[in-house]
Amino acid sequence: MQTLVHLTWIEGRIERWIRFGRIAEETILTRAEKRVAFAPGAIFAFVRWLSNDHGTVESRIDILRAVDAGEPCSTV
């Protein structure tokens, strides 16, 4: 089982991307969206940035570890 991460890129509005980590699989969903997968135990950085007409609303980076099947976890 792999950990799935949904990425969105709408230039200047919503930007979610992987900063580092070994991507096991990548699926392009639309021009602005894709889904990436990580093998259990993989360490990766997930960056989330959101803006509106007044500037940055959210900017964060999460360092995460992909979980194995049945392992307790939280979603972000």
Q: What is the pLDDT of residues 14-61, one digit of tens each?
A: 999 999 999 999 999 999 999 999 999 999 999 999 999 999 999 999
pLDDT exceeds 90 at position 73: no
Is pLDDT of 6 > 90? Answer: yes
Residue 72 resides in a domain: no
40 within a domain of the structure (yes/no): yes
Query: Is 27 among the domain residues?
Result: yes
Burial 35-57 (b: 16+ CB within 10 A, else e): ebbbeeebebebebbeeeeeeee
On whether residue 41 sits in a domain, the answer given is yes
For 11, other C-beta atoms within 10 Å of its C-beta total 7
Domain count, the chain: 1
